Amino acid sequence: MADKSQVCSVWVGSETGILKGVSLSKKQAFNFCEMSCLSRDQEVCVLGWGDEHETEVLVGSVNGTVKTFSTEKGIFTETRQCGESTQGRFTGIAVTDSALITCVETGLLRVWKEGSTDTVEINAGTNVCRMRQNPSQRNQVATGGKENGLKVWDLERPETPIFTSKNVRNDWLDMRVPEWVRDMSFIPDSDKIVTCTGHHQVRVYDPASPQRRPVLEAHFGEYPLTALSLPANQDSVVVGNTHGELAILDLRKGLVRGCLKGLAGGVRGLQCHPSLPLVATCGLDRFLRVHSLEDRSLQHKVYLKSRLNCVLLSSKDLELSGSAVTGDVEEVKEEGGEVDEVWDTMEMINDQAKKRATDEEEAVVPGVEKTTKKRKVVK
Amino acid sequence: EERAVRLDKPTKKKTKKPKKQPKPPHENGNDSMIEKTEPEHVDAPAEFSFPPTFSVSEIKNKQRRHLMFMKLKQEKRKQKVAMKKKKKKERDALGDKAPPKEVPKTIENQRVYDETTVNPEDEEVAFDEGTDEFSAYFNRLTNPKVLITTSDRPRGRTVRFCNQLATVIPDAHVYYRRGLALKKVIPQCIARGFTYLMVINEDRKVPNGMVLCHLPDGPTAHFKVSSVRLRKEMKRRGKDPTEHSPEVILNNFTTRLGHSMGRLFAALFPHDPQFVGRQVATFHNQRDFIFFRFHRYIFKNEKRVGIQELGPRFTLKLRSLQKGTFDSKFGEYEWVLKRHENDVCRRRFNL
């Protein structure tokens, strides 16, 4: 179990309550579940990293339990009861300084400190759809939901949010535009927050600017956008909607840069890799797909038998092809070295041998490059 | 040189009859023509071998082109017959040692293996199916009760189709739509204990779509309906169906999506079929089209059955499967038919 979990680079939570680990390099998926007794109330709602080194995965279920899964050991190490199922599903989970932050649909945002049973509670309004933590300032969280605008909370001052967004102006019929924040993300290196809504809008808010209304608004498609993620390079955002349409939007002007094809069901979970131009998606069609953001092609597709709710990517390198290529090159160089030695020991044929050796090395190195090129094309 | 050859060809219009005569010259009055063409034909292959890229379509004159094409076809047909004869001879010569007959390739044979094909021993899929929205029906906790309605202001054909469907599905009630919104109809159905809502959509006086919504919180499937044949239009049909519950046959639903569909159709009918009625409803899936047929059978002896088709027949194609009750704008879709992505490979199917 431990070796299986150490290889996994993508973690997926399913509706049947099973935590699945997928190793893209080995092209295998593993189920990590406690016992053979599964039940629907253990359905995984949220996944999060328990620590910065990504050795622990926090799994939040419908019945209010948060389980900690250790990737090194391959087992669930801890279970905490963080609320009941009557309070609604988990909509966000995060960790700061050994404290666990959970948010449920009814708007109750709680900070569970280690060792003490009392919690800091914030009421984030009703119908919260998502809660996310600022990766650079870990004590800031953002919440948003249906008819519940984006609010940024500082956990050290739980009474009022530090930023409350305002709804856009009335539309051309002078009617109030409905609001439904489905997912949000903090843009690194700035104060801005980008949100996607159930009314197929993508909005960027800037708390630093005096206006509380969105700074940028873009539209995509006709169906509710369910998930959002920011790729490693700036100025773009990947969104997914309930019809399985994935798009890369440019945040400078708000235009669609391209669509990612392949999904047949609604997108439930979406995450971009922190450094590589890859995006992992999971959805109701029971597949985990990894697309490349540069050429928008499908890199990996894994069938995972249950409807998938959330996905978590680890920061380590996902693919074996990089390490395989370096392995081959090393082997080739070693062989070349051996050949050199063999030829050097044979005295008479030295000059020709050296020429041949150099020829071989030259022939071999372009050969290696060719194979790498082939690999890229085949993908 | 080719052009010279063709100028010598008789420019008289040849009727079709002599053209279709087999190659051995006949004694009809067209001897001269055939004789003329034969030497040309003998010369022609020698000429044809010269330019390798020559094809019949390069001849500009329509009549001559037609003639050459017909000749080509006849040649090909002759070769094909000769090949067949040769093969049969070889086969007979070998007798028992002959290699088995080759199975012709069909699209179903060549179907790309779908990785979502359900393995019957798979525990996870079994658990998933055991606890999904249909588990109430399959655990015998509820009995099916179907509400059939149409889009607003249906025309005669659709109305008759709905009535015939109501005779086929036991415990089905037909209601007139009256322009009501489905989202408001659904809570009322749930309150009255219905388990299915079936809406037949009509376009240009012909039913062309169906929305099948499992209540209280089950999936909603949207189908395209085609080839609807009402009872009057069926040939050699039997008498009207009786009130007995039919048996249900679900053919060829292999993938995970297919399984969901199969369960959706199975939950329309009562759990226990009444074999006294000898009626059977078949949902046959082939190439992602689901064919519905309703028959009455009778066993003449142990090995022979006679069947009579009763009831309407129609074809369904799944367009989308939505999780939750009908909500086309804000609902989450489990599967959507995307035509361009499906048209890429002709041998890949989803059900």
What pLDDT is recorded for position A271?
92
N residues, chain B: 351
Nearest residue in chain A measured CA to CA from B344:
A262
- Using a CB-CB cut-off of 8 Å, the residues of chain B touching A264 are 335-336, 338, 341, 350
What pLDDT is recorded for position A7?
84
The answer to whether the CB atoms of B335 and A242 lie below 8 A apart is no
User: What are the beta bridge partners of residue B274?
Assistant: none
Answer yes or no: are the C-beta atoms of A142 and A192 closer than 8 Å. Answer: no
Is the pLDDT reported for residue B63 higher than 50?
A: yes
Is the pLDDT reported for residue A322 higher than 80?
A: no
Domain locations along chain A: 1-43+54-81+220-345
pLDDT class for A13, splitting at 50, 70, 90?
Answer: very high
Task: List Cβ neighbours of A354 (8 Å cut-off, separation of 6 or more).
Answer: A340, A343
Is the pLDDT reported for residue A362 higher than 50?
A: no
What pLDDT is recorded for position A321?
39
How many Cβ atoms are within 10 Å of B200's Cβ, its own excluded?
26
Rounded to two decimals, the pTM is 0.78
Contact residues of B toward A, CB < 8 A = 115-116, 122-125, 127-128, 131, 256, 323, 329-336, 338, 341, 350
Asked whether the bond before B216 is cis by omega within 30 degrees of 0, the reply is yes
The answer to whether the CB atoms of A264 and B122 lie below 8 A apart is no
pLDDT in tens, A128-157: 999 999 988 888 999 999 998 999 999 888
Round the average pLDDT of chain A to a whole number and report it: 82
The answer to whether the CB atoms of B333 and A244 lie below 8 A apart is yes
pLDDT class for B193, splitting at 50, 70, 90?
Answer: very high
Q: How far is B128 from chain A (nearest CA, A)?
A: 7
Is the pLDDT reported for residue A106 higher than 80?
A: yes
Q: Write out the H or E segment, with its range, that includes residue A7.
A: helix A2-7
Is the pLDDT reported for residue A62 higher than 70?
A: yes
What pLDDT is recorded for position A319?
59
Q: Which of A35, A182, A183, A243 to mutate: most B Cβ within 10 Å?
A: A243
The answer to whether the CB atoms of B256 and A305 lie below 8 A apart is yes
pLDDT in tens, A23-38: 888 888 888 886 666 7
The answer to whether the CB atoms of A16 and B128 lie below 8 A apart is yes
Cβ under 8 Å to B: A residues 3-22: 15-16, 18
Between A322 and B123, where is the model more confident?
B123
Between A351 and A6, where is the model more confident?
A6
Q: How far is B124 from chain A (nearest CA, A)?
A: 7
Of A36, A38, A264, the CB nearest to B336: A264
Q: How far is A260 from chain B (nearest CA, A)?
A: 12
Q: Which of B332, B341, B345 to mutate: most A Cβ within 10 Å?
A: B332
Query: CA-CA-CA-CA torsion for A131, A136, A140, A145, nearest 10 degrees?
Result: -20
Three-state secondary-structure class, residue B255: strand
What pLDDT is recorded for position B16?
47
Of A16, A39, A262, the CB nearest to B124: A16
Is the pLDDT reported for residue B82 higher than 60?
A: yes
Is the pLDDT reported for residue B242 higher than 50?
A: yes
Nearest residue in chain A measured CA to CA from B115:
A303
Task: List Cβ neighbours of B260 (8 Å cut-off, separation of 6 or more).
Answer: B132, B219, B321, B334
Q: Which of A305, A307, A309 to mutate: most B Cβ within 10 Å?
A: A305
As a whole number, mean pLDDT of residues A266-295 equals 91
Handedness of CA B241, B247, B253, B257 (dihedral sign): positive
- Using a CB-CB cut-off of 8 Å, the residues of chain A touching B350 are 264
Answer yes or no: are the C-beta atoms of A376 and A340 closer than 8 Å. Answer: no
Between B96 and A173, where is the model more confident?
A173
Please measure the distance between the N-terminal and C-terminal CA atoms of chain A and give it in whole angstroms.
30
Q: How far is A101 from chain B (nearest CA, A)?
A: 28
Nearest residue in chain A measured CA to CA from B124:
A305
Answer yes or no: are the C-beta atoms of B320 and B221 closer than 8 Å. Answer: yes
Of B128, B330, B332, the CB nearest to A306: B128
Please write down the long-range contacts of A188-194, taking CB distance under 8 Å and 24 or more positions apart. A188/A135, A188/A136, A188/A230, A188/A234, A189/A136, A189/A234, A193/A142, A193/A150, A193/A152, A194/A228, A194/A230, A194/A237, A194/A251
Answer yes or no: are the C-beta atoms of A97 and A52 closer than 8 Å. Answer: no
- Using a CB-CB cut-off of 8 Å, the residues of chain A touching B338 are 244, 264
The answer to whether the CB atoms of B127 and A16 lie below 8 A apart is yes
As a whole number, mean pLDDT of residues A295-310 equals 91
Of A36, A38, A266, the CB nearest to B333: A266
pLDDT class for B25, splitting at 50, 70, 90?
Answer: very low
- Between CA B10 and CA B286 the distance in angstroms is 53
pLDDT in tens, B195-236: 999 999 999 999 999 999 998 888 999 999 999 999 999 988
In chain A, the percentage of residues whose pLDDT exceeds 70 is: 83
Of B127, B323, B350, the CB nearest to A38: B127
What pLDDT is recorded for position A379?
46
As a whole number, mean pLDDT of residues A229-255 equals 90
What pLDDT is recorded for position A168?
92
Round the average pLDDT of chain B to a whole number and report it: 85
- Between CA B351 and CA B348 the distance in angstroms is 10
Helices (H), B256-318: 256-266
The answer to whether the CB atoms of A242 and B331 lie below 8 A apart is yes
Answer yes or no: are the C-beta atoms of B290 and B261 closer than 8 Å. Answer: yes
Of B115, B122, B333, the CB nearest to A242: B333
Cα separation values, A333 from A218, A328, A351, B142, Å: 52, 9, 20, 71
- Using a CB-CB cut-off of 8 Å, the residues of chain A touching B116 are 286, 303
Cβ under 8 Å to B: A residues 290-329: 303, 305-307
Task: List Cβ neighbours of A154 (8 Å cut-off, separation of 6 or more).
Answer: A139, A140, A161, A162
- Using a CB-CB cut-off of 8 Å, the residues of chain B touching A18 are 124
**CA B318, B319, B320: angle at the middle one, nearest 5?**
100
The answer to whether the CB atoms of A286 and B127 lie below 8 A apart is no
Range among A308-322, B14-28, B230-244, B279-293 with highest mean pLDDT value? B279-293
Is the pLDDT reported for residue A369 higher than 80?
A: no
pLDDT class for A341, splitting at 50, 70, 90?
Answer: low
Query: CA-CA-CA-CA torsion for A246, B224, B147, B159, nearest 10 degrees?
Result: 150
pLDDT class for A88, splitting at 50, 70, 90?
Answer: confident
Residue A27 touches chain B, beta carbons under 8 Å: no
The answer to whether the CB atoms of B332 and A286 lie below 8 A apart is no
Q: How far is B332 from chain A (nearest CA, A)?
A: 5
The answer to whether the CB atoms of A285 and B331 lie below 8 A apart is no
Is the pLDDT reported for residue B328 higher than 60?
A: yes
- Among B32, B39, B8, residue whose Cα is nearest residue B18: B32
The answer to whether the CB atoms of B338 and A264 lie below 8 A apart is yes
Token pair belonging to A309: 């709710």
- Using a CB-CB cut-off of 8 Å, the residues of chain B touching A286 are 116, 256
